[in-house]
Amino acid sequence: MARFVLSRLVLLLLGLLVASALIFFTLRLLSGDVAQVIAGTQGTPAQIAAIRQNLGLDRPLIVQYGSWLGGIAHGDLGTSLVTGSSVTSQLTQKLTVTLPLAGLSLVIGLVLGIPLGVLSALKRRSFSGTAISVVAQAFAAVPAVWGGMILIAVFAVAIRIFPTQGYPSDGWAEPGQALKSLLLPALTIGVIEGAVILRFTRSATLGAVSEDYVRTAAAKGMTRTRAVITHGLPNVMLSVVSVLGVQLAALLVGAVLVEQLFALPGVGRMLVSDVGVRDLTKVQGELLALTGLVLVLGFLVDSIHRAVDPRLREPGE
Amino acid sequence: MSSSAKAGAPRRRTWFTELLRRPAGVAAACWILLLLVSAIVSSFWTPLDPFDTDPYSAWKTPSLQHLFGTDGIGRDVFSYVFAATRTTVIVAILAGLLASAVGIGLSALGSLTARWIRESTAVLIDILIAFPTILIAMLLASILGGSLGVVIAAVGIGFGVNIARVSRSEIRRVSRTDYVLAARASGVGPGGVLVRHLLPNVAPTFVVQLSLAMASSILAEAGLSYLGYGASASTASWGRLLNDLQVYIAIHPGSVLWPGLAITLTVLAFNLLGDALREASDPRLRSSGPSDASAVRTSPPAATVSGELRVTDDVSTRGEPS
């Protein structure tokens, strides 16, 4: 176990390094001259030279990358090219919206997806089982933005209990208000992700139904449903955990779109507007934070999966 | 089992006739065909000019003249949605081609080369898979500005890595089977093994992944065009239309129905086609007849003991006893 976590940790660090290099060098090499980008079309050569010197852009690329990495090690992602404020502090503030949004979405997705997925597999020959599976298939194809618009249409016109736009300006000072603002966006992502989790749970449960251990338990007098739930479910859950890493990435991407739609001040919305104004230092910080989050969560999911799945243990563990 | 008893006739069926036996697959294929025809027709003709604005005919309800009604600036929504099929089809085809190229390249590099290249490619694939497509697109858009080219590049790279991951483990799996070993032992060279055994075995997985890549490219195009980093204002796009209509959602909620429905049905069609192709092309997943429920074992465990995952590959309703 320790050996696995250690080697997985090395992969995580390597992943963060590769991610940072890809983001940094893609931005620098493709953009040509960052100073020119900042100065705009009206910048004089003297202004551009001054900007270049100011930001240390006259140093070799690899040195710039090194100093960016060095900053990250101290939790410093640099300053915004447009506003001059600290990227780290803005990022941590926006994460207080994006992380709860993703977490709430995940909870909604799991609560919907797992029980319904098991149910639709157990009832696969009846109408309800087929109906659940068909609806899930359709929901998994819904674009998050459209799903959110339908929720806004319903809740802004018909039932006015949840806010459909914005977020309390004092954030989590009033947890009830903040949670209320996050509910519809989280429902949007959660239902779509839930449909994906449902289909996966269903397929894993169908696999469990025909396993030998279920047949044996059934032969010894258990009902098939009970056998699947007592003996099959742990295996089904392991399969679900194993895809959770990929689903978490999908949740964060969903957050980028949904934050824009519901006007939530999260990392996704900030990224969208920073891309618009070409604030390259902020964009690179935000992209690194989001991919870093996906990588770290993937590491945690893999480690948990390894810890709880006895089939993955090495002999002698 | 009974499947071997009937082996003669059913085995002869090609994957295409197998596909035609699946209603969901046929419906999906028909929708995609319709989309393709719309894309071609709309390049030459649309009922009305999709960009023709007319303040006097804003927010018309659906009628014979305006099948889907009109939007806030009087554009005919049907003509716009119809014209946008062209954007969708172009993006899906180009993104699919690029994803295939990236996928095949990486998986060949990750399975058939010297050990150190193989292993480092595998690590690279594992790392790149953490980059969500939308973020790759944002990275490119922050420098190049938003365009359909950025969407295609992002999906091609993002989903290409997905294809590489799935087909790499598939190539590795097949290359360690007994029949490949036997072929090698009887003197077939590596090229022969690749052409005769590896590629035919990987092809079904690959085709399925391609279908999913296209589904994902449509979602990505819609999402990015919605954000303003996809199709330009002069290009009809379902995602862009959603963005245009968003402001009026509380007053004219019905207007977003059409572009959203078009995206959902198209993504659904590619997902269903992927599922149907997987079942149709893989003899192991074919049930030997509609009445024979016990012939096939249902889906294999998602995570194999070695911890390798076939992530997108396993979210399916495959091989289910009918």
The pLDDT mean for chain A works out to 85
Q: What percent of chain A has pLDDT over 90?
A: 21
**pTM for the predicted model, two decimal places:** 0.84
Q: Cα–Cα distance between B163 and B311 in angstroms, integer?
A: 11
pLDDT digits (tens, 9 = 90+) for B227-250: 988 888 888 899 888 888 888 877
Rounded to 10°, the helix A175-209/A127-139 angle is: 120
Is A86 strand, coil or helix? strand
CB neighbour list of residue B293: distance below 8 Å, 6 or more residues apart: B287, B321, B322
Q: Cα–Cα distance between B20 and A29 in angstroms, integer?
A: 49
Q: Which domains does chain B have, with CATH numbers?
A: 12-288 (1.10.3720.10)
Answer yes or no: do B130 and A305 touch at CB < 8 A. no
What pLDDT does residue B285 have? Answer: 61
Look up the ipTM and state it.
0.86
**DSSP label at B55?**
G
Angstrom CA distances, A35 to A47, A50, A287, B143, B182, stand at 9, 9, 21, 13, 62
Phi (first) and psi of residue B134, to 5 degrees:
-65, -35
Q: Which residues pair with B70 in a beta bridge?
A: B76
List A residues 52-71 in contact with B (Cβ-Cβ < 8 A).
none
List A residues 256-275 in contact with B (Cβ-Cβ < 8 A).
256-257, 260-261, 271-272, 274-275
Answer yes or no: do B139 and A207 touch at CB < 8 A. no
Q: Is the pLDDT of residue B109 over 50?
A: yes
Q: Is the pLDDT of residue B319 over 60?
A: no
- Which CATH number applies to A97-267? 1.10.3720.10
Q: Cα–Cα distance between B245 and B251 in angstroms, integer?
A: 10
CB neighbour list of residue B116: distance below 8 Å, 6 or more residues apart: none
8 A C-beta contact, residue B290 and residue B140: no
Q: Is the pLDDT of residue B35 over 50?
A: yes
List B residues 25-54 in contact with A (Cβ-Cβ < 8 A).
none
B260 touching A, CB under 8 A?
yes
Q: Cα–Cα distance between A69 and A81 in angstroms, integer?
A: 18
Answer yes or no: do B135 and A305 touch at CB < 8 A. no
As a whole number, mean pLDDT of residues A32-38 equals 70
A26 touching B, CB under 8 A?
yes
Q: Domain limits of chain A?
A: 1-82+277-317, 97-267
8 A C-beta contact, residue A116 and residue A132: yes
pLDDT digits (tens, 9 = 90+) for A58-85: 788 888 889 888 888 888 888 887 788 8
| Distance to chain A for B20, nearest Cα, Å | 20
Of A18, A150, A238, the CB nearest to B303: A238
